[in-house]
């Protein structure tokens, strides 16, 4: 299944979610810049807040595989698709590299956050949280988001994404209360592959927009 744009995919997901969640206390949390374009459509349909969780991925050197990712609170979460043994092996083999990457991505996150940050626990507490991605090749970003939200009391965790890999869906069944996925791929390509239009605002512009939206809800 292919989409004209992330906005179009978001409208399709919004149509699935609106009947059930239109009058509920929801918060839409985007997991990337591209996900903000999807999430805007859902938040508009549900008349709820749209915010963003800054997540930076760390790749295994020379492989198209994620070690895990760091959230804006500085906590690193290993890719949940790894076994304990695999994590120990990678952590031992790439110890120096991993530590350096953690420092670099946390510095990058802090530069982007600027004064204050994007996501507020108060906007999520006691809400149905809808985590939105524009495409999931693995469940790594959801692992990080779930870890980030553990201290926050939320009613329900819903994941919405236009497309995801079979492996990601297997992981999501463990992590989320409810899934809304338009297409599941056996052989997942890059996220951009599934959209005809791939124009995404800069990270800085996306964050500025999100902070303005959040400000309007306070």
pTM for the structure as a whole: 0.83
More confident residue, 2 or 114: 2
Total domains in the chain come to: 2
Q: Buried b / exposed e across 167-201, counting CB within 10 Å, b at 16+? A: bbbebbeebbeeebbbebbeebeebeebbeeeebe
Strand ranges, E, within 136-176: 156-165
Phi, psi of 114 (to 5 degrees): 65, -130
Asked if residue 47 has pLDDT above 80, the reply is yes
Which tens digit of pLDDT belongs to each residue from 139-161?
778 888 888 888 899 999 999 99
In a domain, 182, yes or no: yes
Q: How far apart are CA 26 and CA 102, in angstroms?
A: 32
Domain-ending residue, one of 95, 113, 131: 113
In a domain, 1, yes or no: no
**Domain range for residue 199?**
6-55+115-217
Q: What is the CATH number of the domain that holds 128?
A: 3.40.50.2020
- Examine the domain organization and report whether 104 and 125 are in the same domain: no
């Amino acid at each position: 299944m292919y989409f004209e744009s992330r906005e179009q995919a978001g409208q399709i997901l919004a149509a699935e979610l609106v009947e059930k969640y239109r009058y509920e206390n929801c918060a839409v949390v985007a997991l990337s810049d591209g996900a903000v374009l999807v999430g805007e459509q859902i938040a508009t349909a549900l008349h709820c807040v749209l915010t963003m969780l800054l997540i930076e991925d760390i790749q295994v050197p020379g492989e198209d595989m994620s070690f895990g990712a760091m959230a804006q609170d500085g906590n690193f979460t290993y890719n949940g698709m790894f076994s304990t043994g695999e994590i120990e092996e990678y952590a031992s083999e790439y110890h120096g590299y991993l530590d350096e990457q953690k420092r670099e991505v946390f510095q990058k996150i802090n530069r982007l956050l600027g004064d204050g940050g994007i996501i507020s626990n108060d906007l999520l507490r006691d809400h149905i949280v809808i985590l939105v991605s524009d495409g999931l090749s693995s469940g790594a970003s959801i692992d990080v988001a779930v870890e980030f939200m553990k201290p926050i009391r939320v009613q329900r965790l819903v994941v919405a994404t236009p497309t995801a890999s079979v492996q990601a869906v297997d992981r999501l069944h463990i992590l989320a209360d409810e899934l809304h996925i338009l297409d599941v791929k056996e052989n997942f390509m890059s996220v951009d592959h599934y959209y005809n239009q791939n124009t995404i605002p800069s990270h800085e512009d996306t964050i500025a927009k999100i902070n303005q939206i959040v400000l309007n809800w306070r």
